[in-house]
A and B are shown apart, each in its own frame.
Chain A
Amino acid sequence: MEHIALWVAAFLTLGIYSFLYKDNPWYKLCEAIFVGISAGYWFVTLFWDNIYGKFWLGVFPDTTTNATGEIVYVSTPDYWLIVGAVLGFLMLLRLVPKIGWISRWPLAFIVGATAGFYLINYFSSNVMAQVQDTIMPLFGVGYNASVYDIIGNVVIAVGTFTGLIYFFFSKEHKGAFGGAARVGIFFLMITFGAAFGYTVMSRMSLLIGRMDFIFGDWLGLIG
């Protein structure tokens, strides 16, 4: 059985890679299998994780017998989950054309609640924490730093300052302000360049993983 699975995996891997040459029936077959199976897999996973695992077991937890022989829940039932279930049900009402408009309510709730919830998280991590890390002594009084530290501190401070100016939308990027914004975009592009190289390297490791499968696990040419 394992042998068949190995051949199927190799057939599908090569089929997906055949796209590098051009679109072809082999790729189309693999693509259809990939999309279809993954959609089905995610449906089943989400059902068991969310509807059963989180909602059903959350509202109706398993029971056990305690030391006194009494039947008790293994965890406290969380009835707030019913609110989520009702919202989910309302979402399904879009399948009934006459009352389909009701599905906008849970949608509005999700979008609004998400925006509010993440406002605090993003403000903490993307504003407060970053400002705290950027504010640092560049050099001098009571600060024992090497020349490299000082250069690093200045680069961070200037990069953050000019980067923020680039993302200032209510003022035209002209004159000194425009110059600072230009420095900001230079910083961004240098960062992107470094990130590009770093990510390409990690993608290479993915490719090496598949090649290892083809030439090692499947063909047995490498140990």
Chain B
Amino acid sequence: MVIRSNEQHLRWSVLVIHLVLFSLVLFSSVSGAESDSITAIPALAPPTNVSAIDKPNDGGGSISIRWGLSQDDYDGGLVSGYKVLRATDSNGIMSSFTEIGDATAGQAEYVDGNVSDDSSYYYQVVAFAQIESNGAAHDLIAKSAITGQVQSSAQWFDWQRINVFVGVLILCALIIFYIRQAQSGKELFIRKIAGLEAIDEAVGRATEMGKKIFYIPGTQDMDNVQTIAGVTILGRVAELSAQYETWLEVPVARSLVLVTAKEIVKEAYSKVGRPDAFNEDQVHYLTDDQFGYAAGIDGMVVREKPATIFFMGAFYAESLILAETGNSIGAIQIAGTGMPSQLPFFVAACDYTLIGEELFAASAYLSREPKLLGSLKGQDMGKALILIALIVGILLETFGIWTFSDLFGVID
């Protein structure tokens, strides 16, 4: 019994030893497998050579930050992008950095357009990446050095637009030259513009019929050159209507146009010796609203049935509504605008249409004033130079001699 008991003990002991050994082997193999799959999380290389400078050729309020790409920023590299941090300087003490924007991987410049010219700033660029390791996501960042203090300022001259400056100078020189010529008595020729030739006829028609003339100077304000051109032609129409004693009505959509149009009509009546015929109510305000203005004019047109309607200025979607209503009552209509999308409607519904540049040439054409004639001639010479540039440029580029069009590139 004792022997059997000892044998049993021995067996149990051997079994336990085997189990312990097996467990140790198993554990060691498992832990060995684990230690093989753990990968070290790599360190991210920071952006280098970070610099911040006042953005050149601007009106202030922006700083340009540039940096060298992180060594881990390449096609398939670790870097996901960059964060730009900014701190302000207050009496020599740097505030804490806050994120102001970010850039994608591969991008090495950021423009901070939200700075004050009165303050100084510091910048830091942080490369960031996210990697998957050991079944978990890890965010990696690498901070660059901090830039020196930088302040934005406005520049007097935008050197990137020197070509615009030269172009304007040439145009101005041509205009001044031809104005001088016109003032010295030289006859300057202007070709016939049918729409402007018809103004006298249109005013005369209203006089014969004993009906009103409507003059619509568009829906835009005095900061639009088309409106300025429109009210200039109004002067000529007002002179004629004062001479012929025909009622001229000018409904307007803007307060500044109201003031200007009143001044122009009043002056025109005085110029032809009929200041007494001017009535303040001839020029009146309707509304600033585009379609409210169109609805108001439509009502007036169908009720008062003017013999002549002028549309001179900047128009948008109301153009066809106005021109069609005028057409439906049989009024003679002369339109002029520089809005390319509205010209087709005026061409279709009006008797005469001044197309774009013709509207701007009208003041010189109608007044025959030397200053304006010289200015028109100067502009024509400008167009001639453009025509020459087009021919020369197309030939040079077609034969691969020189990229001439680069001279006309304008950087905003």
Q: A169 with B408: in contact, given A42-B289, A120-B164, A131-B389 (CB under 8 Å)?
A: no
Check B289 against A167 for contact (C-beta < 8 Å).
no
Least distance between A158 CB and chain B CB atoms (Å): 10
Q: Please, which residue of chain B has its CB at the minimum distance from the CB of A167?
A: B357
Least distance between B163 CB and chain A CB atoms (Å): 7
Among A39, A132, A168, A191, point to the contact of B288 (Cβ < 8 A).
Answer: A39
Q: Please, which residue of chain B has its CB at the minimum distance from the CB of A160?
A: B390
Least distance between A121 CB and chain B CB atoms (Å): 10
Check B390 against A157 for contact (C-beta < 8 Å).
yes
In the complex, chain A residues whose CB is within 8 Å of the CB of B299: 23, 27-28, 31
Name the interface residues of A145-184: CB closer than 8 Å to any CB of B.
157, 160-161, 164-165, 167-173
Check A192 against B347 for contact (C-beta < 8 Å).
yes
In the complex, chain B residues whose CB is within 8 Å of the CB of A48: none
* Interface residue B44 (Cβ < 8 Å from any Cβ of A): no
Check B302 against A23 for contact (C-beta < 8 Å).
yes
Least distance between B321 CB and chain A CB atoms (Å): 10
Q: Please, which residue of chain B has its CB at the minimum distance from the CB of A142?
A: B400
In the complex, chain A residues whose CB is within 8 Å of the CB of B409: 128, 132
Least distance between A32 CB and chain B CB atoms (Å): 8
Among B188, B298, B340, point to the contact of A19 (Cβ < 8 A).
Answer: B298
Among A115, A123, A161, point to the contact of B225 (Cβ < 8 A).
Answer: A115
A52 to B25, CA, bound (A): 83
Check A167 against B288 for contact (C-beta < 8 Å).
no
Stretch at the interface among A3-11, A195-203, A212-220: A195-203
Least distance between A204 CB and chain B CB atoms (Å): 12
Check A34 against B291 for contact (C-beta < 8 Å).
yes
Check B287 against A23 for contact (C-beta < 8 Å).
no
A151 to B164, CA, bound (A): 31
In the complex, chain B residues whose CB is within 8 Å of the CB of A157: 390, 394
In the complex, chain A residues whose CB is within 8 Å of the CB of B404: 135
* Interface residue B361 (Cβ < 8 Å from any Cβ of A): yes
A23 to B347, CA, bound (A): 25
Stretch at the interface among B6-14, B140-148, B380-388: B380-388
Check B390 against A141 for contact (C-beta < 8 Å).
no
Q: Please, which residue of chain B has its CB at the minimum distance from the CB of A185?
A: B355
Check B387 against A196 for contact (C-beta < 8 Å).
no
* Interface residue B94 (Cβ < 8 Å from any Cβ of A): no
Max chain B C-beta neighbours (<10 A), residue from A37, A42, A125, A165: A42
B-facing mask of A95-137, CB < 8 A → 1, else 0? 0000000011001001100110011101111011101111111
* Interface residue B397 (Cβ < 8 Å from any Cβ of A): yes
Stretch at the interface among B15-23, B47-55, B197-205, B255-263: B255-263
Check A31 against B341 for contact (C-beta < 8 Å).
no
Check B292 against A131 for contact (C-beta < 8 Å).
no
* Interface residue A186 (Cβ < 8 Å from any Cβ of B): no
In the complex, chain A residues whose CB is within 8 Å of the CB of B293: 35
* Interface residue A80 (Cβ < 8 Å from any Cβ of B): no
Q: A129 with B376: in contact, given A39-B286, A192-B343 (CB under 8 Å)?
A: no
* Interface residue A76 (Cβ < 8 Å from any Cβ of B): yes
Q: Please, which residue of chain A has its CB at the minimum distance from the CB of B378?
A: A170
Check A127 against B386 for contact (C-beta < 8 Å).
yes
Q: A167 with B400: in contact, given A31-B299, A110-B223, A114-B222 (CB under 8 Å)?
A: no
A217 to B404, CA, bound (A): 58
Check B295 against A35 for contact (C-beta < 8 Å).
yes
Least distance between B5 CB and chain A CB atoms (Å): 85
A-facing mask of B339-372, CB < 8 A → 1, else 0? 0110111011000000111100100010000000
- Give the interface of A toward B (CB within 8 A): 16, 19, 22-23, 27-28, 30-31, 34-39, 41-42, 46, 76, 91, 94, 103-104, 107, 110-111, 114-115, 118-120, 122-125, 127-129, 131-143, 157, 160-161, 164-165, 167-173, 188-189, 191-193, 195-196, 199, 203
15 of the cross-chain contacts (CB-CB < 8 Å) are: A16-B295, A34-B292, A39-B285, A42-B288, A94-B259, A123-B171, A128-B167, A128-B408, A136-B397, A136-B405, A137-B394, A141-B399, A170-B188, A193-B344, A203-B317
